[in-house]
Structure 1
Amino acid sequence: MAERPEDHVKCPSCLKINEDPFVLECNHSFCRACLQQHTDKGEKSCPTCGTVFNSMEIPENLTRNEPGIFPAGSATSEALCSLHKEELKLFCLDHQELVCIICRDAEKHEGHKFRPLEEVVGSHKERLQESLLRAKKRLEDYQHLRWNCLEQSTYIPVQKEKIVTEIKKAFEELRNVLNTEEEARLAAVRQEEKIKNERMKEKISALSREMTTLSDSIRHVEEHLASSSLSLMKTFQTTLSRIQKLPDKPELLGEALLGEAHHVGNLKIGDTNVWCLNLTFTWSFEPDPKIPDDPSG
C-alpha cells in the first residue's frame, strides 16, 4: 500500500501527528515527548531501526511546516484540546468553555450541559454585536458633545470681545470717574475667559482620551468578530468584558460660557450721577447665567 503524506509526520511511537517533531540521523521522526521517554529509560538508539544517536540536541524536523503535508481538514493546534489533543467540538454551558469529547466525560464536567460549537457561536456573536452597538452609540455621544464643546470654545473669544466692547462703551460716559472700575471689570472678563478656556480645554482633552479608549475597544471587538469561530470563542469572555465596561455617558460642562449678564447687566444706567454716588459694590467674576445649548442662537 502506498504511503500517505501524513504518514511521514506521524510519530511511530504514539501514532499521532507530531506536535513537536525531531528527526534523528537515521531520518526517523518522533515526538519530542516520546523520544524523551525513550531516552529516560537509558535507550540511545532509534526506536524504529536501532541506529544509535548521541544526544537529544537534534535539529527540528522541518517537514511539519511543508505545504500540503497535512491532509485537508486536519485540526490545527489551536483547534485541539491541550489535555487530550482532540478537536474542540463542544461548548460547556456550565463552565462556558470549549471542550473535546474526552473532556465531556471527565469528572470535572460531570452533570454539565454541552452544545456543539457551531450552535453557540451565533448567540455569542449576537451578544457581542449588541454590546458593540451600545459602544458605538456611546462614541456618538462623545463625538456630539465634543463638537458642542469645540463650538462653544470657538464662541468664547467672540463673546469676550462683545463683552469688552459693551463695557468700554458704557465706561466712556464715565471715563474721568470710573476709569479704575472699568479696568477692574475688564480684568474680571479676561480672568473668567482664561478660567473658562482652561476648563473647556481640559474637558475637550478628557473627551478625546475617552473617545480613543472607546474606539480601541470597538476596533478590538470588530477584529474578534471577523476572526474564526474558534478564536472568537476562546477570547469571548475577555472581549465581552472589555466592550461592556463603557465609560459614563458624557455630560456638558456646567457654566461653560462667560457670565455675560453678570458682567454687563448693570451697565445701562439712567441716572449716572446717582449710580456713581452709590458705587460701593465689590466686583466678582463668578458667572451665574444659564448656558445656552447653541451659542449661535
Structure 2
Amino acid sequence: MAAAMEKLQREITCAICRSYFSEPVTITCGHSFCRVCLSWSWRVGPTAFSCPECRQVPVVREFPAVNVRLAQLTDLSRELCSLLLQSAEGQHQCGRHKKALKLFCEDDQTPICVRCSQSPEHGAHKLSPVEEAAHNCREKIQHLQSHVGNCLKEAEELLAQEERPTVDWDWMLTGEYNRLHHILMEEQSQCLERMQQEERARQDRLSQHKQTLQDLMQELQEAGDQPNMELLQEVKQLLGRSGSVLSQRAKAVIPELRECPIPGMIQMLSQFRVDITMVPTSASPFLTISEDKRSVKAEEGWQLETNHPEDDIHHYVFAEQAFNSGRQYWEVDVTQLSQWILGIHTPYLRKKRGRNVDSCASMFLLCCVKKEEDYYLQTHPGSLDHRVKGPVLRVGVYLEYSSGTLAFYNVLQSSLIYGFSLILFTAPVTPIFCPGPPLPGAKAGPMTLCPVDSHLCACCYSCL
C-alpha cells in the first residue's frame, strides 16, 4: 500500500516545484508541469521552450493550455492520498497503551495517545491533534520549500553569472604578475649595473693604490741613494708620506660588502617563518639563556680559543627545532652586539671527492667581527671577508633543505649578505647561535630570536 501511494504521488507531482500539480499543463513530449512552474522555467532557462525534464524542444512553440483531466485527477488523487494517510495513521497505536495516536507532543515532536497525554511525562507539554499538527507541519514544509526554491533560483542565476563573468580576472591577474616580473627585471638590471660600476671603481682604486705604492717604492729607493745630509733633511716628509700611504692599505685592499636591496624579498620569505627556541642545556658557562628560551647573552671573561669559529662549538647555543625538509626562515636581532655568529649545524654532510663521498660533521656560519672602528662579515666555509659600512642590526636566515640552500639577509636593507648553495644534507639541520665573543671592556647585550609575527623596517631602529 505504501509503495502504491508513493507511485501515485509521483504521478501527480510537478518535477519543478516538487508539489502536487496546480493548473497542470502537458507539453508535446508528454511531461506535465504546473502552469506557473513551466512559465518560470521557460523564462529563465538556458534554452527557451525546452522541456525542463528531458530538454526536448517542441515543434510548436506555444504555451499549452491547462490539462483539465489531469487537474481533476490530481484533486481526486490528493483526496485519496489523504484518506489513505488517515487510514494508515489510524492503524498506528501507542506501544505502551495500545491506543490510537490521536495527539502530537510539540515539545517531544512525537505522536502520543490520550492516556500518554495524562501522564506526568507530558503533563506540562504543548499538545495538538494529529490533523492540526500535520497541517501545521505541511505549511512549514511548503514555506521551507518556497524558500529553498528561491535559494535554488538565486544559485542558478549566480552560476549563470560565473559561467559568463563580467570581469576577466585571469587576464587581469596574469597582467599583474607580468608587470611585477617586468619591474623585478628592471630592478635586477639596475642592481647589476651598480655592481659593475662599483667593481670598476674598486679596480680603479686598486690600480691607483698600486701606482701610489710603486711611486713610494721608487722614492724610497732614490732616498736610499742620497747623501747623508740630504737624506736626513727629507726623511721626515718621506716617512710621513709612507705612513699615510700605508694607512690607506686596508680600505683599498679589503673589499666592502655590496648593498643590493631586492624589493619584496623579506616579505616573500616571511611566509616561511618558523618559531624557534633555544636549548638551555647547550649553553656554555659563559652564556646565559633567557627563561623564554628566545635570547642568549655572553658573560664577561670569554674569548674565542681559536681563529676558526667552527672549532669552538662548545660556545654555541643550539635550537630546539631541527629541519629535514621544506623551507624555513627566521630572524635574529643582533642590535646590541658588536660581534656575533649565526648559522646551522648538521651532524653528517656529504662531501664529494671525485667519485667518492665522505661524511663529516659540519657547520655553515656567518660571523660579524669588529676591528677598531670597522665591522667585517666573514663566512665559514666560504670566501666572504668584507667590510660593511655599519653594524647589521637584524639578520634573516633562509634554509631550503631539498636544494641545499642557506642564505643570510640584512633584513632592514632587504639585501642579500651571502648564500651557500648545493649543500648535500643527509641529516636534520639545526640552527645555532653565538653572541660573541664580547669585546674587552664592552658590555654586550643579548642576541634575540624575533617573534614570528614581527615585521620591522629601518625606521623602527632609527632611534638606536
Q: Same fold (TM over 0.5)?
A: no
The structure whose residues are more often strand, as a share, is: 2
The normalised TM-score by structure 2 is 0.19
